[in-house]
Structure 1
């Protein structure tokens, strides 16, 4: 694989167990017999066994993760990097350890069910157009709150943004030289600040970000279906 065709993924896993109502950080909670984060890593390995995986964790969780890998006999090669005080800082730390050129995905560590076909499409479009952001249409009606009232919106004009979000490395490096802003809710918003057009690609509803106890019930059922 040439240096220009290298593929990377930065997995951001800095969550706590607050909304999950758990003392254990949600990325380490077991689903289907192993931690959520291992399922996530497995998906990217299944897509491309040669992909370079960078896992960004809070520094005080790294030793615990290493022990989990030993206990679960988890051997997929990945590099662990200490995160920063914000998601922006954590992604920047992950970028700092990548050398060379190619395409990089940034993905939530607690989205363990991204279909391989979705990952493949995001990488392909980013390689061609510079970036690709996974998103799905809204299923339900949506309203906007205005001055203590609400107003219906046309849901067909909106999308729910997911990850992976893929970028040519030169572009993402340039974007992460910007000063951090509160409006940077994901990597697409950082790149957009450069004035770049964001390309959306079709995501999947099963690509759920596991956040609450109800999500764990869904995840277990999903695994039982052999997905």
Structure 2
């Protein structure tokens, strides 16, 4: 099962991610990129999320949502999402459903930085562990100054033309995030504060940690 459809607290990660995104009033168009065999499930989840949100037309904050087929790799899926954008979608946020609990305030923080004039914006958390590089024999080759390091999250925001250009200029490069492609073009990238709730849910242990975080938050509140 794709990670986006795994349940957390009784609802799929994709639904959690959509609920958080839709709660950010600056977002007017959501494109969900899903595997072909999961398109129906994705459309159902999108419909449920829209129905549960307060983004109806009577509020003046209506949001458009589309579901498209992704690719075999991340960059192909992002390209499919870019192709589904409307002509007026000038700012683009690329988000990972595995970071399903990234709060609306994080989406807004990225958008606000873009509107202040930054062409590429990524959220990041300070690194608290000592980080070393190690070669294939297990020997340490370098120790990094952690005060200069950030653990990068999503949503990552871009002026649309900058992201499209980065994809077109580097068709065969494999990267772990879209900011990596933009870096290759030489465009500056601005980092804003990330959020602990935006931790990536990749393994069963990550899912357990998210469940524990929920229980802790419920007890605290």
TM-score by length of 2: 0.83
Q: By how many angstroms is 1:184 displaced?
A: 2.4
CA RMSD of aligned residues (A): 2.1
Aligned with residue 171 of structure 2, among 157, 180, 185: 180
5 Å matches for 1:1-227? 24-48=1-25, 51-67=28-44, 73-76=48-51, 78-101=65-88, 102-127=90-115, 128-146=117-135, 148=137, 149-150=139-140, 151-224=142-215, 225-226=217-218
Q: Name whichever structure is richer in helix by fraction.
A: 2
CA distance in 2, matches of 1:129, 1:91: 21
Give the Cα–Cα distance (whole angstroms) in 1 for the partners of residues 214 and 104 of structure 2: 15
Kindly tell me the number of residue pairs found equivalent between the two proteins: 202
Unaligned runs of 5+ in 2: 52-63
CA contact (8 A) 2:26 2:111 kept: no
- Please state which structure has a larger fraction of its residues in strand: 1
Q: Is the 8 A contact 1:88 1:180 kept in 2?
A: no
Query: What's the offset of the Cα at 1:147?
Result: 6.5
* TM-score normalised by structure 1 residue count: 0.81
Gaps of 5+ in 1: 1-23
Runs (4 or more) in structure 1 with deviation over 6 Å come to none
For residues 180-222 of structure 1, give each alpha carbon's deviation from its aligned partner in whole angstroms, at most 9, with x where no partner exists. Answer: 2334221111112211011111101221110111111122233
Q: CA deviation at 1:109?
A: 1.1
State the SS of the aligned residue for 1:47: coil
